[in-house]
Amino acid sequence: MNTRFHSLLLTAGLLAAFHAPLEAQDWAHWRGPSFNGSSPAKDLPVTFSKTENIKWAAKMPGPSAATPIVLGNRVFVSSTDKATKTVVAMCLDRKTGKELWKQEVGQGFNRDNNSNYASPSPTADGERVYFFYGNGELAAFTLAGQKVWQRNLEKDFGQFAMQWTFSSSPTVHKGILYQQILQRNVPVNGRGKTDGPIESFLLGLDPKTGKDLFKVVRPSEAKQESLEAFSTPIPYTHAGREEILISGGDMLSGHEPKTGKELWRWGTWNPTRIGHWRLVPSPVAAEGVVLGCGPKGAPVFAIKLGGKGDLGEKGIQWNSESNREITTDVPTPLYYQGLFYVLNGGKKSISAVDPKTGIPVWTGQFDSTQVFENTPTGADGKIYCMNHRGDVYVIAAGKEGFKVLHKAEMGDEEDRRLRPSIVPSGGNLFIRTGGTLYCVGK
């Protein structure tokens, strides 16, 4: 064979190997392929433990609240490295759990004792995978592990004015990488720039280069800590109009995807402007509404999609003020098979809710002594949740009532604040504890 022709074929093969068009069962974002926590994955195991139905278990270099993502035969993990006090981007072989590559992205481990810098989850578009960390580092890698670009958003836009460690995850969608920075308008505990105004904004970047495409300021009437949000931008299309949904600063808003321009806003779950209502849950949209979840026992509000400007009271389809069991402080609700599933992490309960009316179909109580700050996922007719200690609950999805199918103690001895979501993909479950990533399968 002609040597040059052979080299061209080899190069083409390598390029094909490191470019993976997203498949339906890939999990390329912490909220999954539909950005709502659900997956079309089938044939998932109902029962498992640390020794049953485990295909492999990979040791992690340090704790992280990040949810792994899965593309084809690769699993991408954001993590701290406890030994070196750094944050790292990792790639594992899906079939074996073998480490394919590991790249140090930045120095630092944590800012407070409740979380660490590796809390945001990575995201991918089939060509590159993107990692963001609470110290501002944002980096893109090829699927083979070659760094494409890196920048620090704190250096570019000023230190984040946050009481806690910043941990919003990035979203890549249709050629734009989105990162929201929702923060206080004044420094807090010595954090935040002092040489100019502090703004909350939505940033759109070119995934190929990391350069800014737009920066849109998002004003808010929230006060103090209520300006801070740890949510993630969510793409959604309703009646032919695609938008980027953002939750935080006591309100929901929808933005034009190509420019970041605000299309509409609604607020508030905080009418008295309480100053300590930081916001964690991301938006979740389905069947003509998007859910906004206030913190600390506040109601869930379903806001009608398709509007323009300030929606006001007319924008509300329903809220859960009459049933305060339906609330969430940290977990983002799941939409799966025609129902919203709202995990009340503090009360250790979950409710299946009708999207049109907000009326609960059922509410169930977990036999957990630990709270839940993990966001539930749905696949194969089942819902998967994990509490702070790593107890994984498998419950039946659907309208027939709350039914626990299985409980597995997957946490490590030192685990106290586990938050990663469980990832269903292609017949496997990926469960991240403080020190281990498990691949579960029949």
Residue 198 lies in a domain: yes
Q: Is the pLDDT of residue 401 over 80?
A: yes
Question: Pick from 138, 115, 124: which is nearest to 330 by CA?
Answer: 115
Q: Which helix (H) or strand (E) holds 350?
A: strand 349-353
Residue 262 lies in a domain: yes
* Contact in structure between 119 and 419 (CB atoms under 8 Å): yes
What is the average pLDDT across 70-86?
A: 97
- pLDDT at position 440 is 98
- Rounded Cα–Cα distance for residues 412 and 219 (Å): 42
Number of domains the chain contains = 1
Residue 306 lies in a domain: yes
Residue 23 lies in a domain: no
Residue 208 lies in a domain: yes
Host domain of residue 322: 28-441
Q: Length of the chain in residues, anyone?
A: 442
**What tokens appear for 273 in the block?**
């402007």
Phi and psi at residue 221, to the nearest 5°: -95, 5
Residue 20 lies in a domain: no
- Rounded Cα–Cα distance for residues 84 and 18 (Å): 29
- Rounded Cα–Cα distance for residues 341 and 36 (Å): 11
pLDDT of 181-203, one tens digit each?
Answer: 999 999 999 999 999 999 999 99
- pLDDT at position 112 is 81
| pLDDT band (50, 70, 90) for residue 317 | very high
CATH number for the domain including 317?
Answer: 2.130.10.10
Residue 3 lies in a domain: no
Residue 13 lies in a domain: no
Q: For 77, how many CA atoms within 13 A lie in the half-sphere containing its CB? A: 36
pLDDT of 418-430, one tens digit each?
Answer: 999 999 999 999 9
